[in-house]
A and B are shown apart, each in its own frame.
Chain A
């Protein structure tokens, strides 16, 4: 099975909004509402930003929003801030015996 596909990079200016896509298959992203999004700054552990497609953990800004349509999940960040610059990874449960797949990651640059 292949990892969900994410764009290698996205960029935006402070105050703008950006969307990162995560495209899988009906066996993973499209088949379950178990999509999560993680933010990772260099040298740090990943941080959960969104789980179950669109739920935000306590303490996560409502500038972060998740959604899904078919086999593609999306993370939208509104009102970009400098501290949002990081790598972002999606993950999904999968019917394959890998059980969890991570996307390849997207580097967000705040211009």
Chain B
């Protein structure tokens, strides 16, 4: 059974960087048959896919154009986890952030528990 456990702060100041981690059990971040995604959800923007990392002979990343200039998703093979960094935060980035696995293309079959991130001074 795949489980994803998220960790990270719930309050971040404007202009600072958000860092979240998603620890994986029951699968490997280096799996050749899975992608590791970050999605967020807010009342104003709904569900929004942010990006993913995956390994197929080498590491790849895909990012949504809306955050491409501010986002980094990195795998950590030593800890079997992956992370999200989103910089230059504004209040519009306030949302529940989820990590998720995708075993089939462009879908997410296992999700983390969600982290409410509030951007406020």
Binding site for B on A (CB under 8 A): 3, 32, 34, 36, 38, 45-48, 51-52, 55, 57, 89, 91-93, 96-102, 104-105
Contacts and interface: CB of A to CB of B under 8 A. Distances in A.
A48 B109 contact: yes
B114 A45 contact: yes
B108 A48 contact: yes
Interface in B48-71: 48-49, 62, 64-66, 68
Given A98-B65, A98-B66, A100-B64, A46 B106 contact: no
Contact of A102 (B48, B65, B111): B48
Q: What are the nearest 4 A-B pairs in CB distance?
A: A100-B49, A102-B47, A45-B111, A93-B106
Given A98-B66, A100-B64, A100-B106, A46 B111 contact: yes
Contacts of A32: 106
Contacts of A93: 105-106
Interface of B (DSSP majority class): loop
Interface string B81-121: 00000000000000000100000111111011110000000
Interface of B: 46-49, 62, 64-66, 68, 98, 104-109, 111-114
Contact of A99 (B64, B104, B112): B64
Contacts of B98: 45-46
Contacts of A45: 98, 111-114
Contacts of A89: 46-47
A52 B65 contact: no
A2 B77 CA distance: 36
B15 to A, nearest CB: 25
Residue from the set B47, B111, B114 with the largest chain A CB neighbour count within 10 Å: B47
A98 to B, nearest CB: 5
Contacts of A38: 108
A52 B49 contact: no
